[in-house]
Amino acid sequence: MNTTLVVMAAGIGSRYGGGIKQLEKMGPNGEIIMDYAIFDAKRAGFNKVVFIIRKDLEKDFREIIGNRIEQVTDVDYAFQELSDLPAGFTVPADRKKPWGTGQAVLSVKGLVNEPFAVINADDYYGPEGFRVLHEYMTTKMDLTGEKLDMCMAGFILKNTLSDNGTVTRGACQVSPDGYLTDVTETYGIRMENGILKAEDQDGNPRSVSPDQFVSMNMWGLPPAFLAELEEGFPKFLAALKPGDIKKEYLLPTIINNCIKSGKGTVRVLPTHDKWFGVTYKEDKPVVVESIRQLIADGVYPEKLYG
């Protein structure tokens, strides 16, 4: 069965000081974090990559990674743009950023007709998540039923923290039989004097556990999910109020709504790999050292390709 890896790389890296953090060189031969994700996905069995980028990044993106990846697997490009809206909608004058991860994934419609995994471009996920997603998508995912059969790599919260600032995570509730029952965007997660603290979107304290599952936007989705995104986007836009210039059409919210409405289920597939990423500029030395250690431990070859 064909499976595609969809890489969301259209973010502007605002918390990274305005740079294009997805294109920062991290490995010993100039590899970026995406190189390791694609390497892991390819050896797990994924046979196509679709990069979601901004049109203005295309030249740099192709030069830094796209042309190289095209030598080892099928590659396609989708473009997330602020102005890419359904008929009847226009961009508010003061809106600057695109419309979130839901709009990003919707941009692959027409390019993806098979089960697909979605990841962030600037996150290191480790090999296990790709293995468990691919196994579920190719051996267990029901593509013919009325409900959307989805899966998610479930990371352990304590394995996903940054030493250099707060993080936002989708805090998950999971049923005894391993299905996601709720995912809630949780903000400002950090360790303070050995105590894990977090907040809701309004800044109120929220209780989280170091050992609970969180979503890192690593989903396994059936192709029919794209129709759900397409149907929901105009509803999201129509519900916006004047001044809602930062609200986003977010994958966790959309998937959570599918669960609550009975439209779909999400199997949580535990992964114990340690996440790392470049949320902040200060994270880069940690990422470089982490990759060096993974190479020393034999998880990756010194040179990924060639």
Q: What is the model's pLDDT at position 119? A: 97
Homologous superfamily of 4-296: Spore Coat Polysaccharide Biosynthesis Protein SpsA; Chain A (3.90.550.10)
Handedness of CA 200, 235, 228, 80 (dihedral sign): negative
pLDDT tens by residue, 43-100: 999 999 999 998 988 888 898 889 999 999 999 999 999 999 999 999 988 888 889 9
Strand pairing class (74-79; 116-120): unpaired
> What residues does each domain of the chain span?
4-296
Q: What is the model's pLDDT at position 64? A: 85
Residue 305 has pLDDT above 90, yes or no: no
Conformation bin of residue 103: beta by default, left when phi > 0, alpha when psi is -120 to 50: alpha
Residue 61 to residues 9, 13, 20, 294, Cα–Cα distance (Å): 9, 15, 10, 25
Residue 148 has pLDDT above 50, yes or no: yes
pTM of the model: 0.93
pLDDT tens by residue, 131-143: 999 999 999 999 9
